[in-house]
Amino acid sequence: MVTSSRKVITLEDDRIDELKAFDDTKAGVKGLVDSEIVKIPHFAGIDKDETRRSEIINKIRDACEKWEFFQIINHGIPTSVMDEMMDAVSRFHEQDTEVKKQYYSRDFSKKFIYNSNFDLYQGPAAYWRDGFECILAPHPPEPEELPVVCRGIMAKYANYVISLGITLFELLSQALGLKPHHLNEMNCSEGLLLLGNYYPAALNQN
């Protein structure tokens, strides 16, 4: 689902029969697990239903023209993956300072760096925020370049986000009246930068 402040664009497929069959079991998703199902029912189908895909393209075009931004939900990245990525950000920042220091840098040519206020020397004010950034595509870091506490999930999360980006740029290409792969062939979906910000509780000032 793509949303703006006023627009709601549903990416879910209208598979009423499949949903009704699921609902009629009255067993919920736990029932699917208990039955040892190996295939989850489809809830999205923009790659299989051209009519539905056209509707989504039109709504994305409308959101871009009128609102200039939108939010995507029901995007196919599992909640468990997003939760684990969030946990990994916290795990990194809550490590012992001596462990994190090895990554502290303002050399933005590195693929993984950690610091406080990336624009500390250029910004008009310092913010109560630490953060790390990592270039995950098109040339991802070697595993040993990443902190152990978030190494595995970063690669997994990146794969999902890159796939989503490719799909989104296909839809945007068609919204512009171009062939689906036009923007991807221009490498619009090639890069991926991950930011992991951390906002510790503020200190009281007297």
Per-residue tens of pLDDT for the chain, all 206 residues: 544 444 444 444 444 565 556 555 554 545 455 555 444 444 656 777 788 888 888 888 888 888 877 788 778 899 999 999 999 999 999 998 889 999 999 998 999 999 888 888 887 877 888 999 999 999 999 999 999 999 999 999 999 999 999 999 999 999 999 999 999 999 999 999 999 999 887 655 55
The confidence score (pLDDT) of residue 62 equals 86
The per-residue pLDDT for 118 is: 81
> DSSP secondary structure string, 5-45?
SS-EE--B---HHHHHHHHHH--HHHHHHHTT-SSPPP-B-
Angle at 79 between CA 77 and CA 82, to 5 degrees: 75
**Residue 112: how many other CB atoms lie within 10 Å:** 18
| Superfamily in which the 76-206 domain is placed by CATH | B-lactam Antibiotic, Isopenicillin N Synthase; Chain (2.60.120.330)
- Starting from the edge strand earliest in sequence, which strands make up the sheet with 112-116, in order? 112-116, 130-137, 192-198
Residue with tokens 């039955």: 35
Say which DSSP state 122 is in: T
Q: Hey, where are the domains in the chain? A: 1-74, 76-206
